[in-house]
Amino acid sequence: MIKIIFMMGVGIFLHAGITDFKIIDNATKAYEDKEYGKSATLLEGIKKSNDTSELHYNLGNTYYKKGHYEKAIEEYNTAEGVDEALRQYNLGNSYFQNGELDKSIESFKKSLALKDDPDTRNNLEVAKKEKKKKKQEQKDEEKKKNEDKKDKDKKEEKKKKDDKKQNKDDKKQEKKQDKKKDKKKKDEKKKDKDKKSKEDKEKKKKESEKKKSESEKKKNPQDKKGDKKPEPSQAQKKKSKEDKLKEQELKRLMKKMQKGKTPTMMYQMGDNKKPRKDDDVKPW
């Protein structure tokens, strides 16, 4: 609960002139009409000529109502000398609205030490609960941050493992590809080697056949015009046939004479040779 009392103490009138009375009266009326900005402006105008605790307290009330809690705290702290229990109470409320819970609790405790008041006790409990709530929210926020960090770390760790596994798989694949390439190269190399070996064998075979052919040509001289031997002429063929007939006839006669056991001496017909005188020939 908020207790904001516009204080018109004796101290404020001791330093006030006729003009100031009118301003204070207008400020009070504006405050009561909830024109807090107007009230604050009027009071700020006479602050130098009426620098009293009551004026600062009333400015604190006006700024509090306007929602300027920092300025309200500043004015309340300068308003020492007024009702201390009430000043501390209003300070407690201003600190609470400004989010300064520890200072709010401290001000409420000071106010209760001076005057036991149910509203002050209630606001003190509200401030304590709010502080506890803020602490729990901070813990929950910290817990959430830690959980988020753990989740992030887990995700990063998983990503690292996945990347590591992927790199490993990539290396295996590269190794596999390299093996395929090496095998292909070896097969091509073997193929080229076999091809060359086959060509060398064929070459050696041709060379061997060529040498063999040349050797046979040396053993069997041939006519310059070709590989065939010159065929005999018709006269040579006829002569050769007659010679064969003569040989056959001669053999036949020799067999016949041997059967009769008669010494013989024969001359071959057609032979131009004549026996020499010194030949041991005994004609029958």
Q: Are 81 and 10 in contact (CB under 8 A)?
A: no
Residue 223 near residue 229 (C-beta atoms within 8 A): yes
Asked if pLDDT for residue 33 goes beyond 80, the answer is yes
**Rounded to the nearest 10 degrees, how much is the dihedral formed by the CA atoms of 71, 127, 99, 95?**
20
pLDDT tens-place string over residues 123-172 = 999 999 999 999 999 999 999 999 999 889 989 989 988 988 898 888 88
Domain locations along the chain: 10-136
> In this predicted model, which residue has the larger pLDDT, 262 or 155?
155
Collect contacts of 28-32 with beta carbons under 8 A, ≥24 apart.
Answer: 31/6, 31/58, 31/61, 31/62, 31/65, 32/6
Q: What is the pLDDT of residue 172?
A: 86
Question: 120 pLDDT band (50/70/90 cuts)?
Answer: very high
**In the predicted model, is pLDDT for residue 281 greater than 50?**
no
The answer for residues whose C-beta is within 8 angstroms of residue 7's C-beta and 6 or more apart is 54, 57, 58, 61, 82, 83
Q: Are 45 and 26 contacting, i.e. CB atoms less than 8 angstroms apart? A: no
Q: In the predicted model, what is the mean pLDDT of residues 16-27?
A: 72
16-23 long-range Cβ contacts below 8 angstroms, 24+ apart: 16/46, 16/49, 16/50, 17/49, 20/46, 20/49, 20/50
Spatial distance between the Cα atoms of 101 and 95, rounded to a whole number of angstroms:
7
CB 58, CB 23: distance < 8 Å: no
Estimate to the nearest angstrom the gap between the alpha carbon of 6 and the chain centroid: 72
Which residue has better confidence, 5 or 57?
57
Q: What does CATH list as the number for 10-136?
A: 1.25.40.10
